[in-house]
Structure 1
Amino acid sequence: MRTRTILLASLMIMMTLTPLATADYEKEIEQGKEFNEPAVFDFPAKTLDSVGPRVDTGASGRAACPAVQTDGGTAGDSGNTSATAKSLGTDPTNGPSGVSGCVDSADPEDLYSITTTAGKEVDVELVVPTGADFDLYLVDATKTTFYDYSEYNDPLEQVSTAGTVLEGNATTFYVFINAYSGDGQYTLRVWTNNSTPKPDMTISMVEAPLKAQAGDSVAVNYTVENLANNSTATTGAFDVFFILSTDTSYDASDTILDDVSVEADLAAGASRNTSTTVTIPINITNDSYHWIIWADGYGNITESDELNNNMASPDKMVIGNDCKDLVGATQNDAGLGADAGNDQANATNMGNNITATYTGCMDGSDGDDIYAFDVPSGYFMEVQLDAEDQTSDLDVFIHFSNGSEVDRGYTSSYPETATAKLTDYEGVGGTYYINVTHYSGLSNYTLDVWTNQSIPAPDYTIDTVTSAGSGIPGDSFDVTAVLENEGTVDGVANVALTAILSVNTG
């Protein structure tokens, strides 16, 4: 590596009263595939809305609370952290009289701890003074997890552990009072009750055919369990939904079938295997889908855990044709007489210093075709992937034998290309893995592979830059840069460098 110190520039700071125009140095990054956040399914779990709690520490300009407060019925202020919060005790009940407290502009937040034993649920009410807007939350010790909240119901805000992960558990949580606007004395009421045993439905097995056509009727097998351990926690009758998804998580782009299975009551600790015939929508897009089976899809049953009601099939079902239909026989990826391996351990080594063209087929049940290539030292790989069906979406990756990704072709159009040139692996000998992977659709593909000799070239980097620490408009000063050549050959005698004055490091 060669190093050269260069007087980069002598600069004069020029300032005018008009705004400076700034060059747009932000590179446009090619947008790849969009991944939607999973939508919240229709069940009655207590969750935050899309914008979250409206915690705001603003209050009116006056300080309505006395200098010595008696929050929670004892002398002193109840702090706003878990360390300074006052305790309301274990399994407390103080309603309907409750305890008093105060929040104002100088003290807009009060926090109280509550400890529950097993089998309990807690209801909390906050009586808000006239003209004020206080909010009420159930939170964890860090005030970052919100179990329940009430914000727009003044003068009476109400929250409960019922239907949350707190219900029935021996735990400690916190009542968080926040003065959104206004100030004054409040009343805090708490009731601890025996929690009602609730069922807990989950899906533990899903099986379906591996192939079908749009409009077909197919049998879907699944097992639903009630994980509750209290004999009174039966489910009652409930509905089971059937969903087709290209991945294992439900979101708004997935297809909910019209078919709904009405299940009979399931006892606590019991399970039931069911086979239901459902009809695949005639207008569904040909692709590969997981079956997601969702117990109590309408959310009619109150459960101890509302977040474990679904399961996706481990295998995908191809709707439409697959590679066997397309090739008319057994797959013959890259002339191997079979489907190419789908991981590095089962990848076929195609040889050393290879430049060749291969053909293969990819569908959703296939997922990955991986080939191994040995590359001599001083050479690098380049690949190009094209598809017979341009509406499909196949991608290509290059990985080194240590598992590191070298490059990828990961767009929504063809040809997809990837190369080791100008990466840390250019000229590095070893075994490389080319992975043709499925995103959507079905197609025969063509894979072009080149092993090229790495061309020696310089590689300039700036190691350090030093200049005056400050200046005023009109000053002249020197900027010195250390230029390094990390390439494989010497650089040219003269290198042009550009100095840019910026308010940040970008």
Structure 2
Amino acid sequence: MRTRTILLASLMIMMSVTPLVTASFENDTFTDLNSDKAPSELIETSVDIPSKETILEKPFELIKLEENPIRVGSSGTSGRAPCPAIQNDAGTAGDSGNTTGTAKSLGTDPTTSFQGCVDSADSADWYSLQLTQGYNVDVVMTFTATDFDLGIHNGTHWIDRDWATSGTTERVSTAGTIVDAAGGTFYIAVNAYSGDGAYDIETWSNESLNCTDLWGTQNDAGTGGDAPENYTMSPTNMGSNVTSSYSGCADADDMFDVFAFDVPASHVIEVSMTMEDSSNDFDLYLKDSNGNQLDYSWFDNPETVTSYGSAGEGVAGTYYVNITAYAGGGNYTLDVWTNYSIPIANLVVDEINSAATTNPGDAFSVDVIVNNTGRLNVTDSYDIEVYLSTDTIVSDFDHLIGTSSISGTDIGLTKTTSVQTTIPTGIIEGTYRLFAVIDTGEVINESSDDDNEGLRNSEVTIGTVATSCGTQNDAGKSIDAGNTTSTLIDLGQPVDIEERGCLDSNDKHDHFKINVAAGENLNITLVNAPDGDLWGDLVTDTNGSSIDSSFGLGSDDYFTTWDTDFNGTGGSFTLMLNWTDFSPWFAGGAGEYRIIIGEPEVFVPSFNCIGWNDAGVGTDANTDFSDPMDIGSNPLLEGAGCLSGQDTSDA
């Protein structure tokens, strides 16, 4: 079974950063049905839905990505009269409730019209109805001088919602949704987003158009009947080396059509499926002879799949094309091409092996195993690079610790190369991901470059993992960067430079002032501590407004004045860094982070006198004549001293 991941916009997170004093969430009274409104920055939903066959390609109860977002509004009213004390929703005495258990029933397959009322004290009305399988319901609501919202719910998820911000008419329907013609119990929900007063509802229940209506007796792809719904059910073989067009039909009762095609060696199959009714949502899948999925297409019309670039490229065998009616029903056109595929190589990083622990400055050996999964021997040499990263993405400012080259790789064979590296002496100690990247110079023509990067299956610990910041030395200033204008650290007008700082649970904020010359832009990369996480905001010192913010949980953050109102203006800015805190679920750890301004070639620590041995006496000399360091009577000594911004005099 396939599952879909839904990434919801981080509305709730933004509100926690900048609270809206008068804001309230719409539908907050529907506490029993709002599980899909969890206040979380990232929601990953994996829903197991029973299928009529084990080949179900995706769950039918999962809300699609285009679903309306949560709206935030005021709690004010329109000034109209509220609802009467004794209501008459849907023409029967009493108020229709706002839950599935208290909703008034409209009966089975209703085609009707009625009135209802909502106000600030009764902000939601729900109505239940039964739909016979093969039927859909259309709902229209009209109102005046208010902003009411309309939705259809199935008791678990929203099916369709109309939350228009203007106008006095809202429309929803089960047609063309994931429950098209499915039948069952549904709920019409009316919500007073703002204002109060009466509304009018009209419903129409109609039998859904299906393949029997369109065809009588189906004749999918000219096979004389309905195509089988599973590759294990001996679908019709449409021939070998096929280039042709076919037509067919799928609907809620006939959700799957599967066809077989024989593809010769050194060839690929390409398939396009066009929906006659663009309101339908059909999906397309390509599988090999063992039922392994090679490609899929979900969100287009036409949908397209191909064996090119997959494990089936150039491989002779029987391939299965699956049309799935995710929502809606109707005719489709299937276009198939079988083309000669030029043999091509494909290099893959199979495995990375190394020691699990090491220290700054140590020699470090990394074994990289590369496989050629393509159909052509590689005879040329190609490069290999090894990186250390604090996250799971190789980026510009990760540590390149070693390079090597590989001389050719034959089809189906693996080759192990040992890359001899040295851990940088100035690296921040902690836990790192170890990457190997091959053919960075793109010398080899491959079917895919996406698998040229590999990650060691566990992390590498370098030195000591930080649990706190210890002695603070933010930006090499021997102090902690504060979070006020009087305690922040002024970095001046830096160009192509790297600075470092530290945050932990006892020091959750560091602020840095940065000046930019007129005509220039500020570009900052923030690299997390190896065992910590932080986020930030770049603000203008003119009025304190935010210019750019970044919240890359577990990854690098980026800030820029480019493509903002401050593009090329120069000026004074403050970079506000914050320790990530989602207690008790996640906390930002501890350790040194990196602030990279511009594109410095190497990290050059800011000069300071920490730990200096003035004149060879073992410590820093005192600062003035009132308390000079005593170096004895008739001394004979030789040594150097140190002065810096934090140590301005020695006596």
Shorter-chain TM-score range: 0.3 to 0.5
TM (norm. structure 2) is 0.33
**Which structure would you say has the larger RCO, counting Cα contacts within 8 Å and 6 or more residues apart?**
1
TM (norm. structure 1) is 0.42
